[in-house]
């Protein structure tokens, strides 16, 4: 990191930790309640009209010439042809690829964008009436969960892992109905899956063996979409919660 970049990073940290008076925090928190409510209402009103969807996750940093970009695009096309809408985080990278695939296949292309100081900006393949901008991550995650009949997770960073483990936890604790969670890219996910099996399960016993059945790991677009199609050939669709 260059000295200029270090300085800019330091300024961001200082700004984030600027002291606020407690009365100011209390006032801000009270008004934020209404902002949170408005985001829930906007999300519910928009997404309730769309119908069955699959959420597709992955890195905003994935380039358009990356193999996983093409896989995400193909997955979205196959889902759209089968009648599913596609929900993404609305940004670039894997999200753009999925929205692009849905758009080109004539499917419903939904973008749940989050306002961030870097990386995130809405991509050009979201249906104009299906773009929702969020300030709060937790509201956005509720929308991903509530209106998706499946999760397909391609390689990504901390945000992708956050969304993945949110879904795994809710299914594990039966706070939502079981639905397919598919990880794409065996090479990318194998280290994490091995750690879950060897350390989390065998050594520390922090999960049960059946918890490992909540998700599947695949390599191709055909395998990923087949997991969704096969699941709903056996079970009825419905709201998650």
Q: How confident is the model at residue 72 (pLDDT cuts 50, 70, 90)?
A: very high
pLDDT of residue 4: 83
Mean of the per-residue pLDDT values of the chain: 91
Which DSSP helix (H) or strand (E) runs through 56? strand 53-57
What is the architecture, at CATH level 2, of domain 19-234?
A: 3-Layer(aba) Sandwich (3.40)
* Of residues 136 and 117, more confidently modeled: 136
Pair 58, 153: CB distance under 8 Å: yes
Flag whether pLDDT at 59 surpasses 80.
Answer: yes
Cα–Cα dist 147/219, whole Å: 25
Span 209-235, mean pLDDT? 96
Least confident of 12-21, 132-141, 195-204, 232-241: 12-21
SS3 of residue 88 by DSSP: strand
Alpha helices for the chain (secondary structure H): 3-16, 22-47, 67-81, 94-104, 137-146, 158-172, 186-195, 221-234
Q: What ranges do the domains of the chain cover?
A: 19-234
Cα–Cα dist 43/8, whole Å: 34
* Of residues 2 and 26, more confidently modeled: 2
* Of residues 239 and 234, more confidently modeled: 234
Pair 56, 72: CB distance under 8 Å: yes
- What is the per-residue burial (b if ≥16 Cβ within 10 Å, else e) of 6-32? eeeeeeeeeeeeeeeeeeeeeeeeeee
């Amino acid at each position: 990191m260059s000295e200029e970049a270090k300085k800019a990073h330091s300024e961001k940290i200082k700004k984030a930790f600027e002291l606020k008076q407690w009365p100011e925090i209390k006032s801000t928190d009270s008004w934020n309640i209404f902002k949170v409510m408005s985001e829930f209402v906007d999300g519910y009103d928009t997404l309730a009209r769309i119908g069955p969807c699959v959420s597709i996750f992955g890195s905003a940093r994935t380039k358009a010439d990356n193999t996983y970009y093409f896989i995400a695009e193909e997955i979205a096309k196959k889902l759209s042809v089968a009648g599913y809408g596609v929900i993404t985080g609305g940004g670039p990278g894997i999200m753009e690829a999925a929205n692009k695939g849905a758009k080109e296949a004539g499917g419903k292309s939904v973008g749940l964008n989050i306002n961030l100081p870097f990386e995130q900006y809405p991509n050009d393949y979201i249906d104009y009436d299906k773009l929702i901008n969020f300030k709060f991550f937790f509201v956005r995650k509720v929308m991903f969960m509530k209106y998706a009949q499946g999760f397909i997770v391609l390689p990504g960073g901390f945000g992708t892992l956050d969304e993945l483990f949110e879904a795994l936890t809710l299914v594990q604790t039966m706070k939502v109905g079981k639905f397919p969670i598919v990880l794409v890219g065996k090479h990318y996910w194998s280290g994490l899956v091995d750690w879950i099996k060897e350390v989390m399960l065998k050594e520390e016993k922090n999960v049960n063996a059946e918890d490992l059945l909540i998700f599947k790991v695949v390599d191709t677009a055909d395998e990923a979409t087949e997991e969704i199609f096969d699941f709903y050939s056996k079970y009825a669709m419905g709201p998650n919660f």
